[in-house]
Every structure is written in structure tokens, then in C-alpha cells.
Chains A and B, each alone.
Chain A
Amino acid sequence: DGGITQSPKYLFRKEGQNVTLSCEQNLNHDAMYWYRQDPGQGLRLIYYSQIVNDFQKGDIAEGYSVSREKKESFPLTVTSAQKNPTAFYLCASSILPGSSPVRGYTFGSGTRLTVV
């Protein structure tokens, strides 16, 4: 059964601490994305990657970092520089929009991060 797995489902962070959110996909998708969801603000793009060992900043990359060492994995680190990290984080993947008309994203179930 193909899909995206995010872990953990819930995560608590202390002030000044870095935390890493896991995202793994077995869909053989080339592109992966991280979004942040806050109430009433929709989803905002943090980082995205279209190929292994390459990634680009999205609209709200400050205080976050990512890596893409494997096609299947795209972990997100929320650093202590992110002043308001409490949010619902969503990972997604898609095929690259080449000749195929299929362009939709597949999302994981999310990680809810809370600062304590």
C-alpha cells in the first residue's frame, strides 16, 4: 500500500530545542514538500525538493531546515530560530509535472508540534 508516513503524530518541543519531523514516501515520487498549517491561514510552503540532494526555500523557510539524502525521505528540522513553531506540519509528494497530466499531491497525516 503506497503512501506517505509522517512521524511522530504529536511532538512537544521545549524552548531553545531543535526537533526533527520525519517524512517517508513509497510512491516513487520525485518531488516532496513541507507545509505548515495554522488555523484560518491555509497551508504555507516551507521547503520543497524535486531531486535528491537538492531543495529550495518556500514562502516561510526561516527557522527551518531540510535534507534530501534519499528519494524516499525528506525530514524537516524546526530549529530554535523559529519563534512560533506551534502548528500542524504536513508533508506531501508528487510526480514532477512533465508529460503526465497528473499533478496532484499526496499528503501525509501530519505532525502536530507544540512548544511547552
Chain B
Amino acid sequence: QQQVKQSPQSLIVQKGGISIINCAYENTAFDYFPWYQQFPGKGPALLIAIRPDVSEKKEGRFTISFNKSAKQFSLHIMDSQPGDSATYFCAASIKAAGNKLTFGGGTRVLVKP
């Protein structure tokens, strides 16, 4: 039972391009949607997060777009750099259910110089 579906599984983008990763969720009770970045052999690190009362959040080159009616949210990486090459995970949680994170399957991003 996968409550958060992430696509694509992998992505290749040229330096300076835009990386776009999409996630769809099923449970309308989710009230927190973070994105994590993971480098090989390391634990994930929180990148940016959004709540469902906001349609967009931007932090530097990273932007989350949120569509509550479609139950979808996406991560945009602007001006992609080789250092952004990593695996990205979307996730969702419910505050009332103890804030347990349910993760998407991950997207491996490769930024070519």
C-alpha cells in the first residue's frame, strides 16, 4: 500500500536546467509535505517542506508547488548544478497520527556539467 507515489524514478538534466519531481498522495489527512535530499551512503537531509494551506514555497533554487485538489505536489530545482546530483524523496505525515513520515520511492537526479 503505497500512499505516496513519486515520479520519475530517475532524471538527467543539464547544468543550468530545471529538475522537476512529482508526487501524488492518497490520504487527504496528510498535513505536512517535506522533501529530503540524500547523497550516496548518507542519511536523508530535510530540504524544504510545505503545509496544505500554501500553494507554493520557495527557498533559494528549490520550490515546492502544492495542488490540494489534485492531491499532488512537486519539487522544482532551478539552475540545477552538478552538486545537486542526489536522490530526492518526497514524504507526507499527519500531525495527529504522531508525525510518522510516509515516503515516496525516490528520484535519482543526475546533473550533467
- Which A residues have a C-beta under 8 Å from some C-beta of B? 4, 6, 31, 33, 35, 40-45, 48, 50, 56, 58, 90, 92, 94, 96-97, 103-110, 112
Contacts and interface: CB of A to CB of B under 8 A. Distances in A.
A43 B89 contact: yes
Contact of A40 (B9, B43, B49): B9
How would you classify the secondary structure of chain A's contact residues: helix, strand, loop or mixed? strand
Contacts, number: 66
Contacts of A97: 32, 93, 95, 98-99
Nearest to A9: B41
Interface stretch (B14-22, B55-63, B78-86, B102-110): B102-110
B49 A103 contact: yes
Contacts of A42: 6, 89, 103-106
Contacts of B101: 33, 43, 45, 105
A40 B106 contact: yes
Given A45-B100, A108-B43, 4 more contacts: A97-B95, A97-B98, A97-B99, A107-B44
Nearest to B42: A109
A22 to B, nearest CB: 14
Contacts of A45: 100-102
